[in-house]
Structure 1
Amino acid sequence: MVLSALLNFLFPPPPSLVVSALSVVSLVSLTNTGFSEMRGKHLNYSKFWNATTADYSKQIKLSSRAGMLLLYTPAFLAGAASFFIFPNDGLRSTLLNSAVTFHFLKRILEVLFVHKYSGFMYLDSAIPITLSYFVSAATMTYTQHLTVTEGLPEPQIDLMYPGVAVFLIGIIGNFYHHCILSKLRGEGEKEYKIPKGGLFGLVICPHYLFEITVFYGISMISQTVYALCFAVGTTFYLVGRSYATRKWYVSKFEDFPKNVKAVIPFIF
């Protein structure tokens, strides 16, 4: 019943074993990573870079800025290349490719001009995250291309234009809260502070809330099974990441407000 209702909003899966496999892999791997974050096993970047006890003494170090650029640049290039590799695929594909490309371009510009960094990242930790972003961007645009070349029937309910609106809300909200975070520490300061302003009075990770919104906007524009699987997987991952972030703040600040949730206002 639920599946049949869901199919009203989605293109039929394309006849591609690779895309079908990647849909399952992205959903399962991101969901598992989210639960790992809740259990205290973190991806090694941001404030959690040294949360595990693995020996990194012989690994290659990157500055945090260089590391974050490495994470996002291949995915941006994959999105930008889609305009040349898959031209003339119609409005939906153009909007999807634009959303994917702009999302990662925004991340790159934030790394260069918004975020402040004081630490470093290990290359071995950066590579799998980089590959994940790149594969997701490439698969998202390729799957959209297949809906055209395979002549798949359009979903009964068109979410393309609402998806653009949801995407823009997510992008603006995410950028706004990243700007708030960037102003927490003055020049030369390295200590963490409890964020204030925007939705930080309700949740400790509103930037993650709006990033989730971004990917549901992309999913609504695309209306493919892969895009939906990636959005759902990203939700589980960022919910887990938010839970770990709130737990970290509670452990570091005795005055952390108890009413501030992790990522969903008033709920979680």
Structure 2
Amino acid sequence: MASKPVNLKVHSRGKKIPKLPGETSIYLQGSASDLYQRIATQASFSTHRLRITKAEDGKPIPNDKSVSIASTGLKDGDAIQVKDLGPQIAWRTVFIIEYAGPLLIHPLFYFLRPYIYKNASAEPSTLQALSCLTITLHFLKRELETLFVHRFSNATMPALNIFKNSAHYWLLSGLLIAYFIYSPTSLTAGSGNLALTYTALALYAIGELGNLNAHLVLRSLRSPGGTERGVPKGLGFDLVTCPNYMFETVAWLGILMITRSWSTGVFVAVAVAQMAAWAKKKENRYRKELGGKYPKKRFAMIPGVW
């Protein structure tokens, strides 16, 4: 026999939601995701724009199918607060827009060199050709992974954040790197050391393939549309928490050795610092959510370093 539903008082928090109901009801065995869907339907609002918290202590109620209403501590007669998060954009769309920047900018600088720089030769150097090829392939791979590999924990993010997120890729890995490495005065305009170039290409290939493998492993742990986490195993996962970041660093080390530019170094330093912070957070999240099933790693991203 189904249990009796609990009745909840509903209040707006911040910006008023015009059609927000004053109360709603839901079964304790129902999921928190069901509560979001019910309120969104009643208010004729997108569920992704809502954030629900308990009025008593401000504790957030996650939009999660695996979280039951009973486990949130809500009882009959309790009040919840509903906040409008503003216009949202899908994470998949965010990534596509971010990576499109360098994916477009590098070929443009490469092919328009004679029109951008004074005294630029019609034919780019081998290193400049390799720079354009490796960077373009890197971001093309990211676009394809976004479309066909990645599964996202959160469906959306605030739409205005797209500008901040895109700046990292469009400005740093796009314009900053491109402007300097395709210049006739850059080190890439020369012939370079052949052994160093082959070493760089080897690091790039290892990094890209290792990164792809890590992403495929992580994809296999989550069902379509699910948010569950499993224990990742395989190449690199026995060494660090996030081998995807480790291999990403290896790939960009290879690109840095090919481009031989301080501008690439700036992007790599910023990117590695950000990935290091994400890796630490992921290590903590794994231990919190998976408990004893997850073997704690000594290093989050780079063996012996971090």
Give the TM-score normalised by structure 2: 0.63
Matching residue of 1:111: 146
Matching residue of 1:18: none
When residues 195 and 217 of structure 1 are mapped into structure 2, their CA distance, relative to the original with a 3 A threshold, is: same
When residues 152 and 235 of structure 1 are mapped into structure 2, their CA distance, relative to the original with a 3 A threshold, is: closer
In the TM superposition, residue 71 of structure 1 has moved relative to its aligned partner by 1.6
Compare CA radii of gyration and give the structure with the larger one: 2
Whether 1:235 and 2:272 are equivalent positions in the alignment is yes
- Within a 5 Å distance, the mapping from 1:156-235 to structure 2 comes to 159-235=196-272
Q: Deviations over 1:47-105 (max 9, x none)?
A: xxxxxxxx983532112211221221122111232332226221111100111111111
Tell me how far apart the structure 2 counterparts of residues 239 and 66 of structure 1 sit (CA, whole Å).
24
In the TM superposition, residue 157 of structure 1 has moved relative to its aligned partner by 5.7
Which residue, 115, 124, 131 being the options, matches 2:167? Answer: 131
Tell me how far apart the structure 1 counterparts of residues 100 and 249 of structure 2 sit (CA, whole Å).
20
Tell me how far apart the structure 2 counterparts of residues 56 and 106 of structure 1 sit (CA, whole Å).
37
Comparing 235-244 with 55-64, greater Cα deviation is found at 55-64
In the TM superposition, residue 260 of structure 1 has moved relative to its aligned partner by 5.3
* More contact order relative to length (CA 8 Å, sep ≥ 6): 1
In the TM superposition, residue 201 of structure 1 has moved relative to its aligned partner by 2.1
Q: CA-atom RMSD, angstroms?
A: 2.6
SS at match of 2:89: strand
Matching residue of 2:72: none
In the TM superposition, residue 151 of structure 1 has moved relative to its aligned partner by 8.3
Q: Show structure 1 runs of 5+ residues with no match.
A: 1-54
Please tell me the residue identity of whatever aligns with 2:127: R
Contact 2:88–2:158 under 8 Å retained in 1: yes
Q: Deviations over 1:134-188 (max 9, x none)?
A: 1122221221122x24789959866323211111111111111111111111234
Which residue, 129, 134, 147 being the options, matches 1:99? Answer: 134
Percent of paired sites with the same residue: 27
Matching residue of 1:263: 301
Comparing 77-86 with 237-246, greater Cα deviation is found at 77-86
Tell me how far apart the structure 1 counterparts of residues 95 and 188 of structure 2 sit (CA, whole Å).
37
Give the TM-score normalised by structure 1: 0.71
Tell me how far apart the structure 2 counterparts of residues 174 and 150 of structure 1 sit (CA, whole Å).
29
